[in-house]
Copies of this chain bind each other. A is one copy, B any other.
Amino acid sequence: MKKLSFAEENYLKAVYHLSNAGEFDVTTNSIAEEMDTKAASVSDMLRRLSEKEMVVYRKYQGVKISEKGKIAALQVIRKHRLWEVFLVEKLKFNWDQVHEIAEQLEHIKSPLLIQRLDDFLGHPKFDPHGDPIPDENGLFKEKPQVPLAEVEISGDGIVVAVKDTNSMFLQHLDRIGIYLGAKTKVTEKVEFDGSMEILVDGKNKLFISKEVAENVLVTH
């Protein structure tokens, strides 16, 4: 099976990420939005990916990733996340600076390189945003993650991931003192606007908006 182009890999990742439980639940427009491109380009690419059997595509209905496609997508995701670990752990980048660079590095084709990189990094299981790193077979364990917004009062948690990974949001988190691994306790919830008060590491009292509460994920 021929190598995928960068563009094909990116579309495949988008389909994978937009998939939920449902069958054919990924729409053309959602892919176009995610990838900042036009619906017409998406239709075209879905036809091509379908020919290569990377997705199952039903015109006007939606698309789902195939088994073959899922394996390919997970390898790209594996590479992306391993490179992110490298950038943060070894090259001292901040977690809000690594996404763009990893978007480029994820397309480098060399299984041996990724194996060696994985060895070098000590086989990390999670990336700097707390997302799990699939192994060579695409297997990974998801930590059960809940948005802070859904934690009940006095509930404890550890920040393990963020839903929104855009740079502005991550910088805001840094500024207010929320980081990966921080211990959280919900001390107050404001019904009408979804904001809440939390205690970080048992000492810093913080007010966070609904937007922040919905995008910070914790395990409990």
> A residues engaging B (CB < 8 A)?
87, 90-93, 97, 100-101, 104-105, 108-110, 112-113, 116-117, 119-120
Contact = CB atoms under 8 A, between A and B. Distances in A.
A108 B105 contact: yes
Given A91-B120, A120-B90, A104 B109 contact: yes
A100 B110 contact: yes
Taking the full assembly, how many copies of this chain does it contain? 2
Secondary structure type dominating chain A contacts:
helix
B104 A92 contact: no
A120 B104 CA distance: 20
Contacts of A93: 112, 116
Contacts of A120: 90-91
A109 B92 CA distance: 18
A100 B105 CA distance: 15
Contacts of A91: 113, 116-117, 119-120
A113 B101 contact: yes
A172 to B, nearest CB: 21
A72 to B, nearest CB: 18
Contacts of A119: 91
Contacts of A101: 108, 110, 113
